[in-house]
Structure 1
Amino acid sequence: MSSSIAIIGTGLAGLSAAQALVNAGQTVQLFEKSRGSGGRMASRRSDGGTLDLGAQYFTARDRRFLETVRRWNSRGWVAEWAPNLYSFSAGQLSYSPDEQTRWVGTPRMSSITRALLGALPVQFTCRISEVFRGTRHWQLQDTDGENHGPFSQVIIATPAPQASALLAAAPKLAGAAASVAMEPTWAVAMGFSVPLDTPVEACFVQDSPLSWLARNRSKPGRNGAQDTWVLHASSAWSREHLDLPKEQVIEELHGAFAEMIGCAVPAPISSLAHRWLYARPVSSHEWGVLADADLGLYACGDWCLSGRVEGAWLSGQEAARRLLAHLQ
């Protein structure tokens, strides 16, 4: 069997690396523990329509990423989102417009990663538990005990705590990944039969269990019979209530939402909660990628840079660049 490059994780970092490698003529095989691609850019179907429970939007500051986003826009994968933006602080809700250009996938955030995945070979619902090296090549073992390989190179594109466990063959890389602290976030979506009487479409929240909220229908391409909102709890509240039952998380965040939104908020007719255990890194880094080119082992992700969507894409590009440079 001819060897290829294994990529563990089909979030934006892994797919960014995969696209760059395939464009350079390399063969890749992707592995994903979930049923679909996207990682924290994944979307969820609900009674209230399709919801973005993870990344709410993204910005483009790096020239290379901005050029890429413009290409995505021309293909219909993304669109600009200019919501009525508010802020809530010290008990006050205030209109807070800014000049920031915000992008969202259309008609859902996962549209981007689905388009990037395309027809690339991927094994879903396959959780890789070990990455080990034979005499010449890498082998992967999943939690069902099955082996996958051989692979000449491996790119690990998972959150830092998960990457650390898979980097055992490169202790220095494993140690670097283990040093990255990541914050959790509880996300709640709730739908209402009658639109809430508020001009708010997005809001940054302080001094509350919440940190962010967005009106789903304000985003391009989002339709639904319900007025659906996505709420993100603050990292501090999420840490403190990490193991709270989902029903109670929904109840408490519904109460916090009702207190700050400035209008009557009835009981939702639909609701769901999702816990992002590794939502974002506590601080940014400048690694770009963790790499042992001699071993053929790489780790990438938003945690290698800014923690933003842009950082995930740039980190995947850097992983591919370093790998290709070593092959030349």
Structure 2
Amino acid sequence: MTTVPIAIIGTGIAGLSAAQALTQAGHTVHLFDKSKGPGGRMSSKRSDAGSLDLGAQYFTARDRRFVAQLRQWQVQGHVAEWAPSLYTAGSNGMAFSPDEQTRWVGTPRMGALCRALAADAQATYSCRIVEVFRGRDYWQLLDADNNSHGPFSHVICAVPAPQATALLSAAPKLAALVAGVKMDPTWAVALAFDTPLDTRMQGCFVQGSPLDWLACDRSKPGRSSTLDTWVLHASAQWSRQHIDLPKESVIELLCGAFAELINCPVPEPQLSLAHRWLYARPAGAHEWGALADSDLGLYVCGDWCLSGRVEGAWLSGQEAARKLIEHLEA
């Protein structure tokens, strides 16, 4: 058992999963994140229309370990099932397309789950770590304001692959492997209307459009907005092609694509906002679980190490913690 804390960079579901497993095993962890709070791509955006899920829209569970964890979260009130009226849209128009998949969301907003997981953790937010380096005996972290943090016995990088690569200079082979992971961007737009749109559709998978997903955010359990709120996700291809477009132009173009798809009048929204996720999802599939240079004490986890889904992120964090604990006990 180490008495020197373990640093975890990133407070998305992967980092929080690793922190939970390590804490349960009796280790002390310290979390760092560049954002104002936890959640990563599972965080929610506060607005005049209430909280909006601009990142992860829902998640599913296939692995028995994640299913068991979900049931605990459900009992604790952190998640609930979302059963939207699902459609698909393509060259032949929009069609009702129900399925048997169980979908889960954080409640009363997606980010509430991560905030609950981080509630008792020692964490430093609004702190962008730019370098991980080895001191005489332990690891130190350097932030963007040139402040040093440490000492730490081990470091877990739980951030998107392009960001993790920059933090792994002390482990060149690990850095080279992570550098090969490509991640796709996603432009997200939220719209809020005074009166509900005249449609039964609450979620839609889209092909052949600038959009690849749209959802009625207010239809999710626990949401209390008095406005009719919608979230639109652009396709990876469209997002790459328009990666540096001003937010106002992104809103205009994606709102136009939304109006073409939904087959009902779309009035001027009372609220509109856009958010660019530079590293929204991995471009390819990997089955690494988590990556490690155990001799150095550096570990890497994230959804991109597995399925690219929320479940994959949680499992990857668990695997990073398992590898670290096994190394300590060896």
TM-score of the two chains, using structure 2 as the length reference: 0.98
Question: How many angstroms apart in 2 are the aligned matches of 1:37 and 1:232?
Answer: 22
Question: How many angstroms apart in 2 are the aligned matches of 1:237 and 1:64?
Answer: 36
Deviation at residue 48 of structure 1 after TM alignment: 1.4
Deviation at residue 3 of structure 1 after TM alignment: 1.9
**RMSD of aligned residue pairs (Cα, Å):** 0.7
- Partner amino acid, structure 2, of 1:153: H
1:128 corresponds to which residue?
129
Q: Aligned ranges for residues 269-288 of structure 1 at < 5 Å? A: 269-288=270-289
Please list the CA deviations of residues 118-171 of structure 1 after superposition, one character each: whole Å capped at 9, or x if unmatched.
121000000000000112110100010011111100000000000001011111
Question: How many angstroms apart in 2 are the aligned matches of 1:47 and 1:140?
Answer: 37
Question: How many angstroms apart in 2 are the aligned matches of 1:216 and 1:152?
Answer: 42
- Partner amino acid, structure 1, of 2:126: T
Deviation at residue 195 of structure 1 after TM alignment: 0.6
Q: Aligned ranges for residues 127-276 of structure 1 at < 5 Å? A: 127-276=128-277
Task: Indicate conservation of the 8 Å contact 1:91/1:260, yes or no.
Answer: no
Question: How many angstroms apart in 2 are the aligned matches of 1:177 and 1:60?
Answer: 26
2:302 corresponds to which residue?
301
Please list the CA deviations of residues 161-188 of structure 1 after superposition, one character each: whole Å capped at 9, or x if unmatched.
0000101111111011110000000000
Question: How many angstroms apart in 1 are the aligned matches of 2:205 and 2:135?
Answer: 50
2:44 corresponds to which residue?
43
Question: How many angstroms apart in 1 are the aligned matches of 2:27 and 2:161?
Answer: 26
1:11 corresponds to which residue?
12
Deviation at residue 91 of structure 1 after TM alignment: 4.1
Q: Aligned ranges for residues 27-106 of structure 1 at < 5 Å? A: 27-106=28-107
Question: How many angstroms apart in 2 are the aligned matches of 1:99 and 1:3?
Answer: 47
Deviation at residue 283 of structure 1 after TM alignment: 1.1
Task: Indicate conservation of the 8 Å contact 1:201/1:215, yes or no.
Answer: yes
2:322 corresponds to which residue?
321
Question: How many angstroms apart in 2 are the aligned matches of 1:320 and 1:79?
Answer: 27
Question: How many angstroms apart in 2 are the aligned matches of 1:138 and 1:130?
Answer: 10
- Partner amino acid, structure 2, of 1:223: S
Question: How many angstroms apart in 2 are the aligned matches of 1:272 and 1:9?
Answer: 25
Aligned residue pairs total: 327
1:161 is paired with a residue of what secondary structure?
helix
2:153 is paired with a residue of what secondary structure?
strand
- Partner amino acid, structure 1, of 2:266: V
Question: How many angstroms apart in 2 are the aligned matches of 1:286 and 1:195?
Answer: 42
Question: How many angstroms apart in 1 are the aligned matches of 2:225 and 2:28?
Answer: 40
Question: How many angstroms apart in 1 are the aligned matches of 2:62 and 2:117?
Answer: 21
Please list the CA deviations of residues 241-277 of structure 1 after superposition, one character each: whole Å capped at 9, or x if unmatched.
0000000100000000000101000111101000000
2:269 is paired with a residue of what secondary structure?
coil
The alignment-based identity, stated in percent, is: 68
Question: How many angstroms apart in 2 are the aligned matches of 1:174 and 1:291?
Answer: 10
- Partner amino acid, structure 1, of 2:209: S
Question: How many angstroms apart in 2 are the aligned matches of 1:206 and 1:235?
Answer: 12
Change (3 A) 1:286 1:33: same
Task: Indicate conservation of the 8 Å contact 1:215/1:230, yes or no.
Answer: yes
Deviation at residue 288 of structure 1 after TM alignment: 0.6
Question: How many angstroms apart in 2 are the aligned matches of 1:192 and 1:110?
Answer: 23
1:118 corresponds to which residue?
119
Question: How many angstroms apart in 2 are the aligned matches of 1:51 and 1:144?
Answer: 31
- Partner amino acid, structure 1, of 2:276: R
Deviation at residue 284 of structure 1 after TM alignment: 1.3
Divergent runs of 4+, >4 A? none
2:101 is paired with a residue of what secondary structure?
coil
Task: Indicate conservation of the 8 Å contact 1:3/1:149, yes or no.
Answer: no
Question: How many angstroms apart in 2 are the aligned matches of 1:302 and 1:15?
Answer: 12
Question: How many angstroms apart in 1 are the aligned matches of 2:166 and 2:65?
Answer: 31
- Partner amino acid, structure 2, of 1:105: G
Question: How many angstroms apart in 2 are the aligned matches of 1:214 and 1:53?
Answer: 10
1:14 is paired with a residue of what secondary structure?
helix
Question: How many angstroms apart in 2 are the aligned matches of 1:172 and 1:261?
Answer: 49
2:154 is paired with a residue of what secondary structure?
strand
- Partner amino acid, structure 2, of 1:78: V
Question: How many angstroms apart in 2 are the aligned matches of 1:301 and 1:207?
Answer: 30
Question: How many angstroms apart in 1 are the aligned matches of 2:258 and 2:95?
Answer: 15
